[in-house]
Every structure is written in structure tokens, then in C-alpha cells.
Structure 1
């Protein structure tokens, strides 16, 4: 740990103590309903939320211009109004069906609302702006008043054109401010960072002659549809839904199947809401591919750890890039993102891919216990190293036992020098270039009896459940074997301990 990182940690801990996080928040005054998600999932479900017909453009191969749309916000409170902008290649009536995703008797979703048909029309593909920004200014097609009884969750809007059979999604989160056991942060910044809509306009596409993909000076707007996800898993269901169905949905499905008390939010909600937004929960969850974090988001989470909140990083490549949140050209807050720095600074081995990232963030391992390592992608088995730890109770795992293919495609290693930190699994990964890397899954104690777990893989969710519409990814000649009872048991060991604890100040 560098002197800079030690100073950062001490400074954040001191700030946490001085901030008085025990003060009353809006959430503390809200009524608690720990059975809300369990009761919600007893309502009738349907598998009709899935897209049936998709078709992609020829040149812009990740886009479907026949029908596409986006929401004016990634998250809303119940009682607020959401605007949905839709474009169709030719004029046609368009309908919007809204579903909440969950377990719902194994069907994965519940139908809540149908709006339309309403007139759909072509809306302009925006020109390339400064820093390769593609920012739509489409007219609203639907205004959705979110009913006050809609629970927090991830919601899909299925768009369907009357004149042809093709469909696509829009996606949004209904958030709340109530006390809860688990706060599930969706990796919305990362969804947008990898969004290539309309052609090649993600944060990874630039005009540099050296072709380095991880640089500053490139921006991405939330005011555009989500194209089909471009790597690792070729699932048409990602059209309009970001990365949620690919890397996060199996975890949400498992949580709701087991009746845990969970609330959902976006990356932006944490950055804006600060530590009080987190401390209403006993446990904070980072799931899947959670790469892009604004600095206020990191600071809020560090303060929440010091306040006694448990953390579960069931993710890989998490908290990697310092992300700047900026308003849209029309002044709406936090609608544009830019990669401006590397947490912990650019390592020498990362320089072939990264350049001119001016902002230095603290080492992410100070929060998570371990961090993104080089090589940063690959696949491998998750290998038990500490079978006597309570994490493994009831799994039957012994030292050296493996969970095949669970590590991928990006992972964490290089554990931090945190008192009491334990490595519970570690091993090697290999990528398609036959480069070897090393991952470490860690757990460490917080200052108030809380615990911080780092699974060190994006693919943890793949072993929890296989809901409708989900495809298991295959990458670098490695593949998760899907649902594994040992992963389910380790996760329930963590969740049950976290649920029973309440060490928050």
C-alpha cells in the first residue's frame, strides 16, 4: 500500500467519524416492510417479458433501428413520472408493456402496465459531437406515471411496433429510501460505458492513432438506446437492457426467490445520495461488471463501511475507473459519463492499454479487499484455500476443491494490507493469449463487526440461478458450469449472517 493510499484511507475514516452518520435521514422515518419483496413475488408471474423478435441493422450490427428507445432517467421513485423516447424506422403505432423482474414462480417477471399503441415515428440519429459524444434529443413518446405502490426493482419496458413484429427494450430502476437488509446497486455506468449505439460509440472507441482503448477524452450519453451488448455473450435480450440480464439478473432472481429484503439503485443514486443512502441498508451489493465509479460513489461507500454496513462485491473489474458525471446539453444532471482516472493510478503493466488518465483515485483494494490485476481478463476455477472459514459451512468444500469456470472474465487480486483480511480462494486464470494471471477472493472485518466480501469474479451470479432469458457466457476458452449448490450455500451463509447483523451507527 502506497503512502498516498494510506493517507487516503485515514482521511476518509476521519471524515466518516466527523460526519456523524448516526443522524436521522429521510429513510429512517420511512415505514419498514421486510416482507415486501417476498409478498411481491407471490403475485402472478409471466415469461412474456422476454423479447420474441429482434433484428439488427447491417452496418450498425448492434443496433435495431426498426424500433428502439431510452428513458430520460435510469432510476425513479414511485410517484414520479418517467419519459420514454422511441424512434421507429418508419411511422407505425407502438405499444409499451412494463414488467418488473424478479422470481415470480420461476417465470422471472410480472406484467404491470400496457400503454398504447401510440404513434411512433423516425427520430434523428445525432451527429458525432465533441469527444465522440452521441446524444439524442428525441421527443417523448410515452409519459409513465410510476404508481406509488410499485416496489423497488429493475423494470423492463417492451416496445412493440404494430406494422411489423420486431421489439426492443427500455430499462429503468424504481428506487426507494426505506430501511432494508440489502441494497442492490445496478452497474448502470458500466452498461453505458460499453454501449456502442449507434455504431462504435462506447467509451472504448476513439480516434487515437495508437488505438489505446482506455483513455480520457471520450464521452458517452445516457440519452440514447442501449445497443446489443458487444462482447462475451451474444444475447439478443441485451438489446435495450444494458448488461443487467447478462451479469446481474441471475443474482436478483436468486435474492427474490429466497425472499430477502432488497432494494435496488443505480450507480448514480449512490454518488448523489452519499453515505446516508447506503446506511439505511445492512448490506451493500456490487454485482457483475461494476467497472465505472464516480469518486463521490467511492467516498460514500468507504464512509458506509466505517459506519458498519456490510459489503458484498460479487463482481469483477469493479471500482476500476474514476468516472466523471456531467449534465446533458439540455442541463439534466448526470446524463453524460467520461473515464477520467484509474483507481490506484495507472500501473506500469497497464500502460499498453491506458494513457492520459489525469485523475488519481485511491487504491480500490482499500474498499474491496482486492483489486483489478494485470492481465485483467481470463478464466479459471475458483479454488478453496480456507475451508474452515464460516463462509464454507455446509458446502463440504476442502482445501484445493474447485468450482470450475467460476472465475471470469475479469477478476480481482493483489489483496490490500487490511488487518484481519483473509484469502478464502485463489488461483490462476488464463486468457486467449495464453497469459496467466492470479486472482484472490477475500473477506475482511469492518470496524463495527461488519464484513466485506470480495468474490473476485464477474461470474458469481452465473452459479446462483439460471432464470428465463439468461445465457451462460463463454470467454477465453473458459465457461461457467452454471448453477452450483456450493456457491448458493456460500452466498446464503453471507446473506444470513448479514441479515442477522445490524452494526450500523
Structure 2
């Protein structure tokens, strides 16, 4: 590295998830010539599992349309995952530095650069150490990742022109933009403190559904689980129909349909521009890459989760309820999820950590005998029980796709549950995990769900 040059490094792995015995590869670029690498298992406490220095790294260009094709950089390192590594979320940290200049006796303070990459290690034998599977929202990570020039959003894409095909294998995965550390990390650390063992996977693993996934009792979604494929839904809905359980401690969940290409390396979604999708026809297509709730797809997320973004919306974000309390109001105090909380109907909770926001899900409902009851007009199951509600609202309705999907300007964030073979619980908000820090009510509800739905 030329003296005075600021070091830089970034990279990506050959896969988002792996199992012990498989080999992962690193592809990186740096102007420092070499880097060090550490791998830490996320949790409380964190666990250092690998450390290595002197890895040779070249300085490589970023190709055109890198957001879509990936960088295509050469491999610089690989590792066979040891059999001793537990299922978990692993943070791979690359570090490059500029050393002091001994010839000029200057620049005595080192300049360092680092880059984090997320890796999930699944259990070689699913459900062998826990009956609870946390599948990370890696599709959402990819959708918001603008590395290489574009994401699936205009606001952080070059020329404010969003991409429709994005690579899952590029720098920025997991620790940048909307990602693991905003929601899921808090949940993982809380589970460690409370003694809840988890096993881990990524969104795409629900599409491939490895052998043994049916042995789990409970599959979790935490945080911002916005992008799903039809095969992901098919497999999870089949799992629930067979008696498995699911809990969505998340919001804006299962909102946009995506398709995977290139053996899961590329994610496709046309979203508001669905008429540009090659699968578009005026009559509709079940795999059209737009809102699941759009009439041309006609598979509202409510069928799965009980709620959906069209009848939810924003709270404490996007100019909606910016002075809102971020709290839930209890509607059904006798529901099992509230057992032991001491809550009564009309009580509120969650304001200290603003657990309601920033994106929420709800359902169409009417009042019956003093209680909110789903109308089921939007696909919500008939036995769905509304436990808690909070005001929410859609903003930014400039695209036809939202009106066509029946988006409401007067929504309600909704916590609830239903049973269809197995039981599905939904918190109805992205920010639920924020309350795990110090809110005893949020903690008790989370325990109730985990305990009940993971039991044999």
C-alpha cells in the first residue's frame, strides 16, 4: 500500500448458510495487499471460534451491474466448517491496516479498515439441539443492500432507479442497512440469557427445506421479514398444516413475493413495477414478483400470518404517527399469550421501547360484543384472535400497486394468533425485539409463545 493511502477492504462468502463439514470460500478486495480474519459466534456471550492473519487479498475492480451479477472476484481464502461449531449466527470480520512508515518516521498511528459478513451455520441434524428454528430475514438484507449501485429501492439506488434482480452474494450482507443487528441480534442475545436454545437458518433454506426441518416444533421470524418466495410459503404452510407452529415476532412480514434464480444466488422482485415482470399477464400469475396481496397474485400474507401490511402500515416512521406512543392496547386479556402479565383489557404496554413500529401488520375487522373481530375479507383466517391493537397508517401511495391491493390509510397494528393444524402467533410489528431489553411484559409474552409452541 502506498504510504498515506487509506486502507479499504470488503468481501463476501460463497454461501449464506452452511453446515459443519462443508467448505466456505471468501472473495475479497483490498488495497492493503493482505488482511486478517476473525470469526465470532453471535450471542451472549460472544464466542471467538477462528482467527487468522496474513491472508493475501488483491485490489479488484467493481464490475458493471455488480448489484445484479455480484463482484466475481477471485477466491482468496477457504475454510471447512469444524464439526464442533454449533448452529448459530457467525460474524466474519475482515481487517486491513496501514502500518507506520519506518523510513520517514511518520504516520505512527495505524489506519485500519474492517468489514463484517454474516454467515449462518445450520445444525447438521436439524432439531438435534433445539426444537426451535430461527430463520434470518436474509432476503430483506439483500433487498436493501445497495452495494454495486442498486438495491430494490429507489432511494439508495444509482439514478434513483431500483434494481429488479439483486445478488445475494456481494459485500454488505447482514451488517449494513436494514440487517441483523437492528432486530435479530437483540432476540438472539435475549434467548441466550434466558436459556432458550435455538437453531438457525436463512430465508432461502425455507425454500430448499433441508431434510429434517419437519422435526422442528416452532419456526421463528424476527424483525423485518418482508420478502418471501412462494416455495418458502408452500413449505412453511405445509409444516403448519402438519402440526408445526410458527411465530412472527416481526412486521411487514411476507409482504413482497420474490423468485430465486441461479441456485439461490439471485433474488428477483419487480414490486411496484410488476408490469415489467416477464411473468406479467393481465389475467395474473401466482409467481408474479409483486405484493402477495395484489389481485394478480391473490395470495395475501394473511392466509399465513393472520395479518398483512395493507391493513397495517407505519407507526413512528414515514410521517405516520410520529408522535405516537409506540405501545399496544390490550383487547383480549384472557388470551394464553398474555398469561402472567397482569394485563387487563384496555391496558397499554411497550411505550418505553416503542415496540409498535416502524412497520406493522393488521387485518380488516369490525366490533362485535365490544371486541375487535376479523372480517376475513382480506384473507385472515376465521379463527384468528385479535389480542392487541395500535394505530398505524400507510403513507406514500403514489404507485397504483398499493391501491390495487386495497391498502388502508387507517390501519391497525395487530397482535394475534390462529390455528390451522399448528398454531401461528404474530406480534404484528418489526420492533417487538426492542422490548426484550427491559420490558417484563414483552419478555413474558415472548416466553409464553416460545414455551407453548415449542413443547412436544
| Fold agreement, TM-score > 0.5 | yes
Tell me the matched-pair count.
383
In structure 1, which of residues 376, 383, 405 is the aligned counterpart of residue 313 of structure 2?
376
The structure with more radius of gyration:
2
Q: Classify 1:439/1:358 alpha carbon distance in 2 versus 1 (closer, same or farther; 3 Å).
A: closer
**Partner residue in 1 for 2:122:** 175
Ranges in structure 2 where 5+ consecutive residues have no aligned partner: 1-5, 99-110, 275-279, 283-289, 317-325, 364-373, 397-408
Matched, 1:141 2:76: yes
Q: Following the alignment from structure 2 to structure 1, what is the Cα–Cα distance between the partners of residues 37 and 161?
A: 40
Q: Residue 94 of structure 1 aligns with which residue?
A: 35
Aligned to 1:315: 250
RMSD: 3.1
Q: How does 1:42-441 map to 2 (within 5 A)?
A: 66-88=8-30, 90-104=31-45, 109-128=46-65, 133-163=68-98, 164-176=111-123, 177-179=125-127, 180-199=130-149, 201-205=150-154, 218-226=164-172, 238-239=175-176, 243-273=179-209, 277-327=212-262, 333-340=263-270, 360=297, 362-373=299-310, 376-379=313-316, 380-402=326-348, 403-404=350-351, 405-414=354-363, 416-429=379-392, 436-441=410-415
Q: CA deviation at 1:359?
A: 6.4
Secondary structure of residue in 2 paired with 1:406: coil
Once the two structures are superposed, the pairs formed by residues 465-504 of structure 1 within 5 Å of their partners are 465=437, 483-500=438-455, 502=456
C-alpha displacement at 1:396, in angstroms?
Answer: 1.5
Post-superposition shift, 1:417? 4.1
* d(CA) in 1 for partners of 2:161, 2:414: 28
CA contact (8 A) 2:7 2:32 kept: no
For the Cα contact (< 8 Å) 1:326–1:334, is it kept in 2?
Answer: yes
Residues 62-92 of structure 1: CA deviation (Å, up to 9, x unaligned): xx9811111110000111111111111x233
For 2:75 and 2:240, the matched residues in 1 are separated by 41
| TM-score where L is the length of structure 1 | 0.70
Closer, same or farther: CA 223–207 of 1 in aligned 2, 3 Å: closer
Contact 1:184–1:264, Cα closer than 8 Å, also in 2:
yes
Taking structure 1 as reference, are residues 171 and 322 closer, same or farther at Cα in structure 2, changes over 3 Å only? same
Q: Quick one: structure 1 residues 427 and 65, their matched pair in 2 at CA, closer, same or farther if it must change by over 3 Å?
A: farther
Separation in 2 of the partners of 1:422 and 1:372?
17
Q: Write the distance in 1 (CA, Å) between the matches of 2:380 and 2:302.
A: 9
Distance change >3 Å, CA 417–CA 431, structure 1 → 2: closer
| TM-score between the two structures when normalised by the length of structure 2 | 0.77
Gaps of 5+ in 1: 1-63, 230-237, 328-332, 347-352, 466-482
Q: What is the CA deviation profile of residues 121-163 of structure 1, one whole-angstrom value per residue up to 9, with x for unaligned ones? A: 211111127xx72521011122011101101100001111132
Query: Following the alignment from structure 2 to structure 1, what is the Cα–Cα distance between the partners of residues 183 and 156?
Result: 29
Q: What do the CA deviations read for 1:437-468 (whole angstroms, capped 9, x no partner)?
A: 32221111232xx3210100000111113xxx
Question: Given the superposition, is the C-alpha separation of residues 361 and 293 from structure 1 closer, same or farther in structure 2, using an over 3 Å criterion?
Answer: farther
1:242-278 Cα offsets, whole Å, 9 max, x none, are 601111111111112222231100111110116x653
Give the CA deviation at 1:375: 6.4
